[in-house]
Structure 1
Amino acid sequence: MSTPIENLTPEQVNAALAAGEILLVDVREPHEFAAERIAGAVNHPLSTLDPANLPTEAGKTVVLSCAGGVRSVTAANACQAAGIDIHHHLAGGLRAWVMAGLPTER
């Protein structure tokens, strides 16, 4: 049985990033990531997603993000189907992050 996907707010993700508690994995395409991204995020596109090759960091929870929250849920479901317990994502994606007034990199 899979773990329900946990929706994290931009504020929760921002605080967890600042505290060094999470690894933010952006599943958008490389050109989207290059145009604008959350500082500290790493890019691992959904189009070439291999859950076994997702980046990890010891002691950190992997949190997925995308543009609007759809691809990150798809990626989390794919991870769980492959037996990898990744179930956190940035609800609303980069759009919600920007709407919350949080900084991005270009």
Structure 2
Amino acid sequence: MTIALIILGAIIVYAVITYFYQKRIVQTLTEEEFRAGYRKAQLIDVREPDEYAAGHILGARNIPLSQLRLRMKELRKDQPIYLYCQSGIRSSRAAQMLYRNGYRDLYHLKGGFKMWTGKVKKKG
């Protein structure tokens, strides 16, 4: 029982630390805030290519999280980067990866693409 409580406590501490670290490195934007700034930024969809093809925010470039480490040089450090994925989890992870590599002006869409009500482009 004591071991289980220690493990649970460690998980809670880790979650709290991760939450505050995340808030410090990437700004979470509502759809309205995101919409107001993404045209002046690098708009990156970090979902996989099949998800991107099924529908993406107009003007977004597809750099899947799985390829980000290899394709990071495609992004400029002197311009804001607006990230989104399906729900917000992968874009948070992408922001952490970018932050560790010197990118600082990072934003992501609260709730991800599934919450987006703006213009969408589909392939095909």
TM-score, reference length from structure 2: 0.70
Question: For residues 103 and 62 of structure 1, what CA distance do their matches in structure 2 show?
Answer: 19
The answer to whether residue 88 in structure 2 is matched with residue 72 in structure 1 is: no
Relative contact order (alpha carbons < 8 A, sep ≥ 6): 1 or 2 greater?
1
Whichever of the two has the greater Rg, that structure is 2
2:26 corresponds in structure 1 to 5
Code of the residue aligned with 1:7 in structure 2: it is T
Structure 1: where are the runs of 5+ without partners? none
The ranges of structure 1 where at least 4 consecutive aligned residues each deviate by more than 6 angstroms after the TM superposition are none
Moved more, 24-33 or 77-86: 77-86
Provide the identity percentage: 34
Q: How many corresponding residue pairs?
A: 100
Deviation of 1:86 (Å): 4.3
Q: Which runs of 5+ in 2 are unaligned?
A: 1-20
- Computed over aligned residues only, the root mean square deviation of the Cα atoms, in angstroms, reads 2.3
Q: Distance in 1 between matches of 2:72 and 2:49?
A: 19
1:53 to 52, 55, 73: 73
- Corresponding residue for 2:35? 14
User: 1:105 maps to what in 2?
Assistant: 121
Looking at secondary structure, tell me which structure has more helix per residue.
Answer: 2
Deviation sequence 1:25-65 (CA, Å, 0-9, x none): 0100011101100001100000111263243396x411111
Q: What do residues 62-98 of structure 1 show as CA deviations (whole Å, max 9, x unaligned)?
A: 111110100000000011122222421111110111x
Distance 1:16 1:96 in 2: 17
